[in-house]
Structures are given as C-alpha cells and as structure tokens.
Amino acid sequence: METATEQPEQWAGRILASAAPLLEAVKRPTVTVESPMNGDVEALQDAVSRVQQLLSSPSADFGHDLLNLIGAIRGYAEMLYEDIELLHPALKSALPALLSAVESSQATLDLSASALSASKLEAPGVILAVDDMPENRELISRLLSRAGHTVISAVSGEEALELLETRGVDVVLLDLMMPGI
C-alpha cells in the first residue's frame, strides 16, 4: 500500500527518468540548441535539477514544491514542443516522453489540461503574477505574454498589495502557499 509521500516521490522519479534522455542529448557536442530555445532548455534543466534536490532533501511542503516544479517543467517542455521543427532530432525524440510523464503526473494530481484551456481569454488583460519561486514567475510571465497579456510580477504578498494600490489589474494569480500573507 502506498503512503502519501511515496506517490509524489514516484511522480518525481518518473519525470526524472523521462527527462534523462533529453538532458543527455543536450550535453552531446553534436547537439546544438539555438536562441531563444536555449533559454527554455536551460530553464528546463534547472527545474529538473531542483526536482533532484527536492528528492534528496525533501521539504515540509514536498508535494506543493513538487507540483510547482512539475508545472514549470511542463511549461518549458510545451514551449520547446511549439518549436519542435527547429530542434535537433535527438531532442525531438526525447521531448514527447517528458511531456507524457509530466501530463500524467498532473492528471494524477487532478490538474487536467482543461483547467489550463479554460484560462484563455478573448481579450488580453493585465495580470499580476505573485509567486516566491523565480522560475514560476518567469514561466508564467513568458506564457501569458505570448498570449498577448501584460504581466506584472511580485515576489511576496506585501509587494502584490503595493502593486494593487498603484496599478490597474484584471486578474491576480497567487501561489497558495505564499510567504508574507
């Protein structure tokens, strides 16, 4: 019988295993990644590295931290997949397995893709993204900016409240576990 902590560790292990071929391909001297995709690959590598760190020394908020990292990995993998024709063949072949592992992990966590598609708006808006993790803020900002939205970022609840007093914002995206709130 699985415990509550075993299942997230299994999800993390599956994501790490599916990311390994992609990360190994990036290290090959014959594989080149052109700009701007090289930034996405580096951010993906960093997020996978943070999953490894989380597994080696779990935090009190292991599940929450893992969920944030899974979301970041999925976002960067999806951005790479958008430009898959420009990628080296070694990366093309490794990317679908990573996306599949991330998507199934999120589905298991009851974070279906339909929730993401429901967030698409008819008209662009001004969105305040508040998250204490810099990679989440960057990812949210990049994805929403690509969709035509203006994104303002804040690191803490206090900073978000200050921005709300001075700026007109349509939507606030707030991490559920935010220091300073």
Number of domains comprising the chain: 2
Q: Would 181 be classed as within a structural domain?
A: no
User: In this structure, are 82 and 125 located in the same domain?
Assistant: no
Asked whether residue 45 is domain-assigned, the answer is yes
**pLDDT on residue 62:** 82
Query: Do residue 75 and residue 100 come from a single domain?
Result: yes
Enter the pTM of the model: 0.58
Instruction: Please check whether residue 76 lies inside any domain of the structure.
Output: yes
Judge if 52 and 100 occupy the same domain: yes
* Nearest Cα residue to 127 out of 112, 142, 106: 142
Name the domain boundary from 83, 111, 139.
111
Position 114 scores a pLDDT of: 44
Q: Which residues pair with 127 in a beta bridge?
A: 151, 171
Tell me: do 152 and 168 sit in the same domain.
yes
pLDDT at 128: 92
| pLDDT, tens only, 5-14 | 447 788 888 8
Boundary-marking domain end, from 111, 132, 162? 111
* Structure confidence at residue 5 (pLDDT): 45
Q: What is the pLDDT of residue 69?
A: 87
Asked if 27 and 107 sit in the same domain, the reply is yes
Are the CB atoms for 125 and 149 separated by under 8 Å?
Answer: yes
By residue range, what is the domain housing residue 23?
6-111
Residues of the chain whose pLDDT is less than 50? 1-6, 110-121
Same domain, 47 and 17: yes
Q: Are residues 150 and 100 in the same domain?
A: no
Q: 166 with 92, same domain?
A: no
Same domain, 106 and 156: no
Q: How far apart are CA 87 and CA 84, in angstroms?
A: 5
Same domain, residue pair 11 and 75: yes
Give the per-residue pLDDT at 64. Answer: 80
Does some domain include residue 1? Answer: no
What pLDDT score was predicted for residue 59?
80
Please report, for the domain that includes residue 138, its CATH number: 3.40.50.2300
Q: Are residues 10 and 97 in the same domain?
A: yes
Instruction: Give me the pLDDT at residue 168, please.
Output: 84
Residue 148 confidence (pLDDT): 83
